[in-house]
Structure 1
């Protein structure tokens, strides 16, 4: 489910006592100077204990029992999450068992805890505005890799290759194979011939690719698009697209690991 649909669902979710909804925004970024000693674990523990004490003093045994059921479930989730920390973790969990939304995100949040009859969505709204659903198109001659991200996190990767026999773009199903080279100073007549041919037909070939990117952007509801690659190639694609491009990034990142690309281009 897209974040837009998740938000609509969360905006309309309410419970009545003795049920409640736990909202947690937890900063777990180890690069944060204030998190070097794993302080996020202390913040999590204190947050849970504060609600525990509050509900104990309230005297509502049913509500206290319901909260503790969520607390136990969340503690189990955190044990797994700790093995692969992101910068932050956002959780909305209801004691009626109908809602458990846990979203690791690759941007910092302000650590906050709420126990209400509804999810507290202020920070999530801010994040979706700052980091909307995004398409990052990495282009390198006859290879194009498309990264889809939401809240700065990778959601999907698609790879297209130009079939030089048919001169059509096709979605690649196997691992990407880069063009072979002869090393520094060496000559590769095949590669040179290919590059000459590519330059001669580049405009026409990228014009054929642009409608595919436009359709993908529409179908997947991209709010922002980045084109990454040699400026001439990226701008050629941009000139043939109907969808607006937020930024052309003049870097060759096609072979880089996807999350590193997002960190460099989007975050």
Structure 2
């Protein structure tokens, strides 16, 4: 999903649809001190109840609102066990529907107006558009494709030392590691030397795949993370511009933790 296109389509739909739109931003972050007891549920209940009371003397508009309210409540109930830091809704009774749970906090707001209130959503998207985080570690490269703090996909590229071809593992559960015991003259020591001797050539062969992925996933921002020499090596072979480079070892970290460390 391209969120920039989604926002444009929401605005266009609203201009063609005569009915009002509910715009709702709900902070559900359990780390927020105001949310320790799930207070967001009370905010949602009260916010929707206030609109219902306000529309008491307009039967047609109230009926429209109740349809939207039921749909929003169903979404929240269905996703109650997988809440993240926020939920964002844009909905009307005549067909507008957008609902997402995000890993980015929002300020809780409710609107019932003739067009969707996209300002806060646009601000979130500007902070974290479609992005690629490329983590480098010797003969392994992990790529996290994300937007709005949400991981869309993770790929692990590992150089097969026998065929000298990059193997791709989509959504890896864990990173692989170089096997063999350490020590001078050991098998692991020999592998390390081989990697060091061939790293430039191997990274050069991987760079076109990273450029292709950046184009396909419409990355607005690319982040390289890992050993600085290795990261700079990959950057030098990529055609796409890298916006940010960080010399940290986050290769084994959970994807969400990586995003929090690098972007959020």
Regarding TM over 0.5, the answer is yes
Q: Distance in 2 between matches of 1:10 and 1:158?
A: 31
Equivalent in the alignment of 1:179: 178
State the Cα distance separating 1:241 from its structure 2 match: 1.4
Gaps of 5+ in 2: none
Q: Distance in 1 between matches of 2:257 and 2:86?
A: 17
Q: Judge conservation of contact 2:183–2:189 (CA < 8 Å) in 1.
A: no
- Give the counterpart of 1:71 among 69, 90, 97: 69
Higher mean displacement: 220-229 or 240-249: 240-249
- Give the counterpart of 1:193 among 174, 178, 190: 190
Equivalent in the alignment of 1:13: 13
State the Cα distance separating 1:189 from its structure 2 match: 1.5
Equivalent in the alignment of 1:36: 36
Residue 218 of structure 2 aligns to a residue in which SS? coil
Would you say how many aligned residue pairs link Structure 1 and Structure 2? 261
State the Cα distance separating 1:212 from its structure 2 match: 1.4
Q: Judge conservation of contact 2:180–2:187 (CA < 8 Å) in 1.
A: no
Residue deviations 1:129-187 (CA, integer Å, cap 9, x gap):
111110001111111111011111111111212122332323235765322254xx766
Q: Judge conservation of contact 1:227–1:234 (CA < 8 Å) in 2.
A: yes
Question: Cα–Cα, structure 1 residues 161 and 62, in superposed 2: closer, same or farther, change >3 Å?
Answer: same
Equivalent in the alignment of 1:52: 52
- Give the counterpart of 1:62 among 48, 54, 60: 60
TM-score, scaled relative to structure 2: 0.92
Equivalent in the alignment of 2:155: 158
Q: Judge conservation of contact 2:235–2:242 (CA < 8 Å) in 1.
A: yes
Q: Judge conservation of contact 2:226–2:247 (CA < 8 Å) in 1.
A: yes
Residue 172 of structure 1 aligns to a residue in which SS? strand
- Give the counterpart of 1:205 among 202, 206, 209: 202
TM-score, scaled relative to structure 1: 0.91
C-alpha RMSD over aligned residues: 1.9
Question: Cα–Cα, structure 1 residues 225 and 16, in superposed 2: closer, same or farther, change >3 Å?
Answer: closer
Q: Which runs of 4+ in 1 moved over 4 A?
A: 173-176, 185-188
Residue 79 of structure 2 aligns to a residue in which SS? helix
Q: Distance in 2 between matches of 1:46 and 1:54?
A: 12
Q: Judge conservation of contact 2:21–2:112 (CA < 8 Å) in 1.
A: yes
